[in-house]
Structure 1
């Protein structure tokens, strides 16, 4: 007779499947939106982080709007969907920029 109850059993297969399901999926066009945001920064059109290390919200929104226009042209969809992808990309780029400048 086993001392382990049925509820205490563990399945690695189920755990791995659940972990794969928990991974955040990248929305379509995210990488191209991120590239557009980074390009806008590189060419000096926008800044994502201020000199004091705070986020430049105007710059982030400007870069996101530019990326959203390109996203909507390429992938179609609504402005809300395009802006959602672009804002995620812009904020991710801003956090990365701030982390790099802190070191």
Structure 2
């Protein structure tokens, strides 16, 4: 006799959505740190275009602080701060467009 397995699709889809919705540790703190320091010294958006050098330098500076606070690896810290920096840059570009 063959065994059949049933899948609860509703529970499975809720689990998938919950996995996507998680924020990396320290993302909000990194965003506020970048907004308070690096983004004010050197704008992330110049003439409607992203200043990638400013974005990278802001993310690296914040990653050093983030790594010290969370004891994470360099890759994890840079990933979190790059996400935060790009969020700020996109918001700044949208704000300047309107």
Give the TM-score, by structure 1 length.
0.76
Higher strand share: 2
Is 1:31 equivalent to 2:41 in the alignment? no
Gaps of 5+ in 1: 1-9
CA distance in 1, matches of 2:59, 2:70: 15
Q: Equivalent of 1:57, from 37, 49, 52? A: 52
Give the TM-score, by structure 2 length.
0.79
RMSD of the TM alignment (CA)?
1.9
Gaps of 5+ in 2: 1-7
Q: How many residues align?
A: 90
Q: Deviations for 1:5-30, whole angstroms, at most 9, x for unmatched residues?
A: xxxxx97x537624642533110000
